[in-house]
Amino acid sequence: MSVWALSLLSVLVSRRRFIIVNTLVVTAAAAIISFLVPRTFSGKATVLPPESESPLAGLMGLSAGSIAAAVTNFALPIMATPSDLYASMLESESVLKQVVDSLELQSVYKTKTEWAALAMLKDNVKIKVASDGIITVEAFARDRQLAADIANMMVSTLDQFNRRLQNQKGKEFSSFLEKRLAETDSALGVAQNAMKNFQENHRAVSLELQSEALINNLAQQKAQLTNSEIQLEILKRTLYPNHPELVKKQMEVSEIRSKLKSMEEGATNVADSTLSALDIPLSRVPDLSLQFAVLKRNLKIQELTYELLSQQLEMARLQERRDTPTLMVLDHARPAEQAVRPQKRLIVLTALFLSLFSSAALVLVNEMVKRKQEDNPRLLSPVRDMLKDIRRNPLG
């Protein structure tokens, strides 16, 4: 050990009484102050991350996270999660004001205005969102029961606020769906009437079945015509021109040809029409099939739209009337057994070490000043002159 270090140690030992007494006094004062400072208790409640929204919520857009997921189909790192959104709602003035009113915190905090109580509440509440999405609500108060009540009330108020928000969204969405459903119902009626008129005007019950039956009937008539024409040629070769059998067969062939022409091109007048379900000209089948397909498509679209809107309207009405909890509370806040502030042990130990260090430093500095003065008596004379001048004339 050097001479300089031994010299400092000897100074500390020689002034140990001052160091010990000063340290004990400061430590005792810190201990007394720590007992006099009012105690602060903590109440902590934890809430599980919000679950995935219902299909209706995906359409209604109840949260920012759901909207982002629905639109982009993936989550961006910078996108706020539902837990972050709930944390922001907990720190909002709407939630805090309702807590102030419910627990009468203005009288508890003894503030003149409600806004001052709201500011104090905001300073005494800490909201944290863990990496796994769990939300922690921690409230501080001088009364342990009040701290727990504030934390629980904030969670309850957030749940009530979220319910009102969802009910309002459901009401707005159901109102929109009712209007849209009425429009679709009108459009569905128009499509049904158009289909009915088309079927009545063209006797088109089912064009696919009717076309198939028409083609089969046409094929049979063609085959019958071919057979009759062969028989007619045979009769022409064997009978004289005015023979009754030959005339009868000629009339039969003419009648079959007329019927085929009517089936292919349509009847020229009502009297020639059979007025049956098969009385659709073969030449008009493609055009009628296209018109029928368009009308059937329009009718099907309106039917599906009406069915979808009816289902969504029922879900929106359920959402509007739903009064179930929207938050899952993992832990409710309970009155704390020990105060979180003041930390008496930390205060006493800090005061002990700081007073010990400062006392030792003061002794060493004092000793160094004395030695400098002994070596050079005039070193501190300017300082003494300035102090004397200040004492004589403090204001200059």
Mean pLDDT (the chain) is: 77
pLDDT band of residue 45 (cuts 50, 70, 90) is very high
Q: How far is CA 173 from the centre of its chain?
A: 15
Condensed to tens digits (0 to 9), the pLDDT of residues 340-367 reads: 777 778 888 898 899 889 888 888 887 7
Q: What is the pLDDT of residue 375?
A: 65
Identify the burial level of 395 via C-beta atoms within 10 angstroms of its C-beta, where 0-12 means exposed, 13-18 middle and 19 or more buried: exposed
Return all residues near 141 (Cβ < 8 A) that are at least 6 apart: 40, 41, 43, 108, 124, 147, 150
Could you write out the DSSP letters of every residue in 66-90? HHHHHHHSS--TTSPPHHHHHHHHH
Give the mean model confidence (pLDDT) for residues 5-26: 82
Cα-trace Rg, the chain: 50
For residue 301, pLDDT beyond 60: yes
Per-residue model confidence (pLDDT) at position 39: 84
Structure tokens at 368: 């160094």
Whether the predicted pLDDT of 61 surpasses 70: no
Write the CA distances from 74 to 53, 82, 263, integer angstroms.
15, 14, 61
- Residue 183, token pair as written in the block: 């429009």
Give tens-digit pLDDT for 167-198: 888 788 888 888 888 988 898 899 888 888 87
Retrieve residue 131's tokens. 């990496």
Q: What is the pLDDT of residue 157?
A: 92
Q: What are phi and psi for residue 42, nearest 5 degrees?
A: -120, 140
Taking only the tens place, the pLDDT of each residue in 254-272 is 887 877 777 666 555 544 4
Please give the biggest Cα pair distance in the chain.
172
What is the spatial distance between Cα 363 and Cα 144, in angstroms, rounded to a whole number?
A: 45
Residue 125: per-residue pLDDT: 93
For 162, the 3-state DSSP assignment is helix
pLDDT beyond 50 at 70: no
Helices (H) and strands (E) in the chain, counts: 14, 4
Q: Which residues have CB under 8 Å from 378's CB, separation 6+?
A: none
pLDDT digit string, tens, across residues 72-98: 344 444 456 888 888 988 999 989 999
Q: Where are the beta strands (DSSP E) in 35-192?
A: 41-47, 125-129, 135-141
- Between CA 47 and CA 134 the distance in angstroms is 6
How much is the average pLDDT of 372-380?
63
Give the whole-angstrom CA distance, residue 93 versus residue 114: 11
What pLDDT, on a 0 to 100 scale, did the predictor assign at position 233? 79
The pLDDT-based confidence of 124 (bands split at 50, 70, 90) is: very high
Q: Report the alpha-carbon distance of residue 154 to residue 97 in Å, rounded.
A: 10
Residues 207-245 pLDDT 10s? 566 656 666 666 677 777 777 777 777 777 777 778 788
Residue 149 has a pLDDT of 94
